Structure 1
Amino acid sequence: MVASKSDTYVSPEDYLAGEKVSPIKHEYRQGETYAMAGASKAHVIITGNVFALLRNHVQESGCIAYIADMKVRSETSNFYYYPDVAVTCDERDRNTAEDFIRYPRLIVEVLSPTTAAFDRGDKFADYRTSETLQEYVLINQERVSVECFRRNAEGLWVLYPYTQGQEVQFASVNFSCAIASIYQYAIGIG
């Protein structure tokens, strides 16, 4: 969530109707909309790499991986966000014509300087209200650093940090890869 914030209350229904015809994407949080800014080359490459790796991994499992243009919805926290990558394994998301998913298992955000604080703070707090979310991953686009927040059996979120030369694991979808695969062509490794 970046760019400009609207100054008037918008209902979720009006937001969805407007988003269908808007030339730019907006995120929605508690009655306010926020225009989304463009992404850097590294951001786009990293997002594409993660999506391709996850899509290929989950395609036979009944899970679906989505990239940047699929919204995630929560009635509890009253938001619609466009994560960089989201994976849902819930049949309720497959059997709907809605332009959003409600039951993500894994969400990945590639951090940019203007969104990092929000992605780590309020957005993560909002995502944590999802009962189905098992992992929230933050990927730094400026240096090799992947932070995987994983919900444990007690419902607490535990950080699993990864850096250069390590194998990244997303336990929620039984996935692992070399960190270099995530950053390939993005910042001079891989």
Structure 2
Amino acid sequence: MVANPQLNPMNPQEYLEWELTQPMRYEYIEGEVFAMTGGTKPHNRIALNLATALDSHLMERGCEVYIADVKVQVSPAGPYHYPDLVVTCDHRDSESNQFVQYPCLIVEVLSPSTEAFDRGGKFTQYRKLKTLQEYVLIQSEQVGVECFRRNEQGLWVLYPYEEGETLTLESVGLSLPVASIYRQVKFD
């Protein structure tokens, strides 16, 4: 993510209208916009593998799976983030074609330039979403998956997964081998 210093601070409505006219995606945080940069082949393959598995699994359940180009609205005042993958099973999300407001699952594929923000500030914002049940962080330079799951007390509990294990996504009732997430991924 790279801030655009040439723009004056915007309110959320100005951002939503402005971004529709832009050739690239921008996240919105406290009046500022941040350009979303491209990813690597491993990053893209990991997101595609998981999105494909989720889409096949959820096909008949009325859930929607979106990758990369659909933003999540944390609140009407922002922020607005573009996760690598978001799943919503809430019919209220059919009211907008611009963003998802009621996700049950958000996935970020980590890269060195965004990992700290994905783990910190972004996760802090996502935790405000009452419908969010799981937040998954996937390593793109080695095998490793971390699933943060909201428990019955509302606390976020970490479930780490490594090579040879099976990832369980309770929010959507899916279990899949970690190896399938990394299918055709080549690390440097």
Interval containing the TM-score (normalised by the shorter chain): over 0.9
User: After TM superposition, what 4+ stretches of structure 1 lie above 3 angstroms from structure 2?
Assistant: none
Distance 2:155 2:146 in 1: 15
Sequence identity, in percent?
49
Q: Deviations along 1:21-52, whole A, 9 cap, x unmatched?
A: 11111001111100111111110110111110
Where does residue 134 of structure 2 map in the other structure?
Answer: 135
Question: How far did 1:76 drift?
Answer: 6.7
- Specify the SS of the correspondent of 1:62: coil
Aligned residues of 1:150 and 1:159 also touching (Cα < 8 A)? yes
Q: Distance in 2 between matches of 1:34 and 1:131?
A: 25
CA pair 122-58 structure 1, distance change in 2 beyond 3 A: same
Does the aligned pair in 1 maintain the 2:12–2:76 contact within 8 Å? Answer: no
Q: CA RMSD in A?
A: 1.3
Structure 1: how far apart are the matches of 2:103 and 2:77? 14
- Scaled by the length of structure 1, the TM-score of the pair is 0.94
Give the aligned residue type for 2:43.
H
- Mind listing any 5+ residue stretches in structure 2 that lack a counterpart? none
Instruction: Please state whether the residue corresponding to 1:132 is helix, strand or coil.
Output: coil
Can you give the 5+ residue segments of structure 1 that lack an aligned partner in the other structure? none
Kept after mapping to 2: 8 A contact 1:88/1:105: yes
Partner in structure 1 of residue 58 of structure 2 = 58
TM-score, length-normalised on structure 2?
0.95
Q: Is the 8 A contact 1:63 1:87 kept in 2?
A: yes
Q: Could you tell me which residue of structure 2 aligns to residue 14 of structure 1?
A: 14
Aligned residues: 186
Residues 16 and 76 (structure 1), Cα distance of their counterparts in 2 relative to 1, 3 Å cut: closer
For each residue in 1:59-80, what CA deviation from the matched residue of structure 2 results, as whole angstroms up to 9, or x when unmatched? 1111111111111002177211
